[in-house]
Structures are given as structure tokens and as C-alpha cells.
Amino acid sequence: MQRILPVLILIIAICNTGWAQNLRWIDATELGIHGYAQKSDKSPYYRYDHTPYTGLNKTVVSHSKKCTGLYLSFKTTSTQISATWENVPSRMGDNMAGIAQKGLDLYINVDGEWKFAAVGRVSTLPEKSRRTKPLIQNMPEGEKEFLLYLPVWCELLELKLGIDSNATIEGLPSPFRHKVIVHGSSITHGAAASRAGLTYPAQLSRNLGIDFVNFGFSGECRMQPQFLEFLKSCEADAFLFDAFSNPSAEEIAERLNGFVEGLVKAHPGKPLIFLQSPINQTLDTKMQSEWNARIEISRNMMKALTKRYKDVYYLEVMNVVGENGMVDGTHPTDLGFHRLVDAYQPKIAKILKRYDIK
């Protein structure tokens, strides 16, 4: 057996090398990348340029470099799609699937509906920052349209797609209309969806045909003045907020009124929709007390703000993720995200429709 293993490894390596060499490789930037809140000139894979805003901590700066919510839209006649991509080395999260954190998520357009097609798998070893994988093979001939979601939790350095050497490929405009920026906590960022396409902004985009741009900052969505200034500068048709999971009750009391007032002045006539955070499922009485305090203060303040401003909305669905809908008592599983989308999507769509966002 010890003699056979090296031979098998060599055969696999040779096969993989041949497979990769038979492909034509196209840089993702040539196809066009979509899903930016505001494009950065620092890197095509950064979703936020933090440099104009002083006082941000290291975590916010790190999150700004992640390609969360970015995606490709393209068509190709290839019968196979492969990918080679490299990210800054990092450890795997304890409540994140590797495919969501560092992998790729491919969807295909079938009769006008986006269907899951394949994933780009990753190694769990932190030093494995470069990978080359076949995403899907043996597809029928003819032109096919795809969405490829980039990883939600890593800093991407490079991405290339491999197709049949004689096939065509063409980048397409975003298939989604309008632009709704979604700013929020790790729940918005994507923990703990199993794939990038299963975050709730991505699901809303495919379901409604509207571009819900993921501007989630895990653990750091505290209505900081730097985020307010950035959001005030953004061009968007509407804004959706998961704003009450990270700040303390004291921070909510201190910052919420000014945060909303600044956005209303910067974006007059634009809908600002606030979602209440899912209830934390814990037996820790201190943690539960703090969570309840955040919910209570945000609920009371938002009810007053919706009366003060006609374009400000507050949506709350109690126990929205339901039983067994969280991976760790805080972050939704795929089932939890499905329930969240199912509960909030009709309410969000109804509000957006009033502003002809449909």
C-alpha cells in the first residue's frame, strides 16, 4: 500500500495538470464584477474604501477588504467551468462553512429563474490560499447564463475562470434592477450560510430581481459616524438595515436618532427600512437580558422615528428564524435564512413597490 499511494498521487497530479492545461483562462475583472456599495480603486475585490474615514478599528478595515456580496454575471458556450483563485491566508471560522467563507457559489439561469449549479470547494488548511478546481463539467452545448458569487469571508487576491479552449464567454450587466444597500451585522455579512448565494441579501436579489447589495460588517455594525458618512455618500434607490444586533442598548439610545436623521437628509424620498434582529437563543440570563434591552430600546425608538419620518420603516417578526434555525444561538443556518427571507420578503417588496422599486 505504501508503494501504491505515491503512484496514485502522481497519476492524480498528472490528470489535474492536463485538465487545467486544456482550458482557456479568463480573469474575472475582464468579465466585470457587480455588487458594490461603492467601488474602491484599491482593489476590484474590495467592497469598501475605508481610507477616507479615520478612527475605524482593525476589524472594520479587514472586513472592508472582503469580497462579501460581490458577484459575476456572464454567459458562455463552454461545456465546463473551472476556477483558480487566491485569497489572503486565514483560519476557518468556527461557525462558518468553508465554501461560504473562501469558496465560490455558481448559479445558472433556467427559463428566467436562478438555479444552484455548483460550488468551488476549498481546503480547510489556512496556508492553502491558492486553489484550482473544476466547478462544473459535462454540461450540454449551447449558450448558458451564470451568476458566480464570490466568498463572503476572505480577502480575494485573484480569480480566473477556465472554459473550453474553443468556447466563448462574455461578461453581462447585473441581472438585477435598482440598488438597495443592506447594512448590518454578521447576519447580513453571511454567518452562517453554507454558501455565498444563501445569504439573505443574495436570496432577496434572486427572488425579487432587485440588487440587494451586501454591506454587512460582522460584529461591527454599531451605527458609527464613519459608516453614516459613507452611507450618506452612496447612490442607491433604498436602504435596508440590520442595525440592532451589534450595538449595546446604550449605543442604540445614543446613536439611532442621529443615524436616521443623517440618512433622511442625505437621501430624501428614499425608503429606509429597519429590521429587528432575530432573538438570541440562549440560556445565559445576562446575555438574554442585554439582548432584550437592545430589542426594547430599538423597538420604542423606531416606532417614534417612523412617525417622525414618512420614508422610515420598521419591520419586526418575532422568532423569525424559529426552532433549530440557528447554528450557535445567534447566527441563522440555511434554514434560518430561508425563514427570515420568507417572513420579511413580502413586507420589504410591498414597501419598495410604493417607490416603484420592483
pLDDT digits (tens, 9 = 90+) for 103-119: 999 999 999 999 999 99
As a CATH number, domain 177-354 is 3.40.50.1110
Residue 12 reports pLDDT greater than 70: no
What is the DSSP secondary-structure string of 66-90? S-TT-EEEEEE--S-EEEEEEE---
Cα 349 to Cα 137, 183, 258, 319, 355, distances in angstroms:
37, 17, 26, 21, 10
Per-residue confidence at 96, pLDDT binned at 50, 70, 90? confident
CATH superfamily membership of 23-171: Galactose-binding domain-like (2.60.120.260)
Predicted confidence (pLDDT) per residue in 145-181, tens digit? 999 999 999 999 999 999 999 999 999 999 999 999 9
In the predicted model, what is the mean pLDDT of residues 57-73? 97
Predicted confidence (pLDDT) per residue in 216-227, tens digit? 999 999 999 999
Residue 46 reports pLDDT greater than 90: yes
Residue with cell 462579501: 68
The C-alpha atoms of residue 120 and residue 85 are separated, in whole angstroms, by 10
User: Which sequence spans correspond to the domains of the chain?
Assistant: 23-171, 177-354
pTM of the model: 0.93
Cα 210 to Cα 35, 206, 270, 304, distances in angstroms:
11, 7, 15, 29
The C-alpha atoms of residue 45 and residue 54 are separated, in whole angstroms, by 21
Per-residue confidence at 128, pLDDT binned at 50, 70, 90? low
In percent, the amount of the chain with pLDDT more than 90 equals: 85
293 burial (CB, 10 Å; 0-12 / 13-18 / 19+) is middle
Residue 16 reports pLDDT greater than 60: no
Residues in CB range of 6: below 8 A, 6 or more apart: none
Predicted confidence (pLDDT) per residue in 288-325, tens digit? 999 999 999 999 999 999 999 999 999 999 899 999 99
Residue 129 reports pLDDT greater than 90: no
pLDDT at 79: 98
pLDDT at 283: 87
In the predicted model, what is the mean pLDDT of residues 341-351? 98
Q: Give the chain's mean pLDDT.
A: 93
pLDDT at 91: 84
Residue 2 reports pLDDT greater than 60: no
In percent, the amount of the chain with pLDDT more than 70 equals: 93
Predicted confidence (pLDDT) per residue in 232-273, tens digit? 999 999 999 999 999 999 999 999 999 999 999 999 999 999
Degrees, nearest 5: CA angle 25-171-118: 65
Residue 65 reports pLDDT greater than 70: yes
pLDDT at 53: 95
